[in-house]
Amino acid sequence: MGQADLVILHDGLAAQALDILSKPAISYPFAVPAAADELVKDLKGHPHAYVIACMMDRQVNAEKAWGIPFELQRQERLGSFEFSFLLQQSEERLEYAMLHPRPLHRFNALMATSMYAAIHRINDEYDGNARAIWAGRPSSRVLVHRFLEFRGMGPKIANMAVNILYRDLRVELADCSSIDISADVQVTRVYARMGFVPQDASIEDVIYHAREMYPEYPGIYGLILWDLGRTKCRPQNPACTSCEWAAHCAYAKGDHTSLA
């Protein structure tokens, strides 16, 4: 894999990401149906729904995870997702709502515990208004740290939460230098196949490499890689012939031995 190919890939990915940021936000769906999508994007009226949806995005389909706040407000579960109502619910009640009439997640008890803790953290630390988490144009370092303080929020989810706020919901930040790439299985596979890191690269390898490649915004093209991993660069039979990056991708050019 030539260094020139990697430079072209990096520059192309960064240019595409910057082009997206230069235009009005594209309202692609986080969840279905439309009402579920509207709920988690309602940063003015239901900012806590965004926080909880991010928390749910673990080891389940992304659209399913982001639809959980909407599912919970259905009458047969909680009946409401207003913050004042959620604050009155016990952890046991939240777990029951996650499980009945059908389980919403792979880890319903764990998600209920994390949700209960998040609701009370928002109440205690942010006066019941989750918008205060990202208000006032904070630095990316501060905002990532604020998300990390929530129970169940690891580095990948915390960085994802901040990146989506900035990139897709256009929340203003002082900088982007601490927004790491969210190196999930999709992103890591595409990053390795393109040739940026070896086949056996760890999540940390991907994160540190992305920091080196674009220090002012390490997570700049994470969404592009994630979407490629879900739509074209699949684990089996990737659609290389229809991929716009194939001309410079190590895997597409036939190097299947040293890369994933």
Q: Which strand (E) or helix (H) includes residue 226?
A: helix 222-231
| pLDDT at position 256 | 55
What mean pLDDT comes out for the span 78-100? 99
Q: Is the pLDDT of residue 42 over 90?
A: yes
**Single-letter amino acid, residue 68:** I
Would the pTM count as exceeding 0.85? Answer: yes
Q: In whole angstroms, give the CA distance from residue 98 to residue 102.
A: 8
Given a contact cutoff of 8 angstroms between Cβ atoms, the answer to whether 55 and 116 are in contact is no
| pLDDT at position 254 | 87
CATH of 3-23+180-248 given 2.60.120.10, 1.10.1670.10, 3.60.15.10, 2.30.29.30: 1.10.1670.10
What mean pLDDT comes out for the span 68-93? 98
Domain ranges of the chain: 3-23+180-248, 34-133
| pLDDT at position 130 | 99
What mean pLDDT comes out for the span 32-55? 98
User: Among residues of the chain, what percentage have pLDDT more than 70?
Assistant: 97
What mean pLDDT comes out for the span 10-14? 96
Digit-coded pLDDT (tens) for 175-223: 999 999 999 999 999 999 999 999 899 999 999 999 999 999 999 999 9
78 contacts: CB under 8 Å, gap ≥ 6: 72, 85, 86, 89, 93, 94, 97
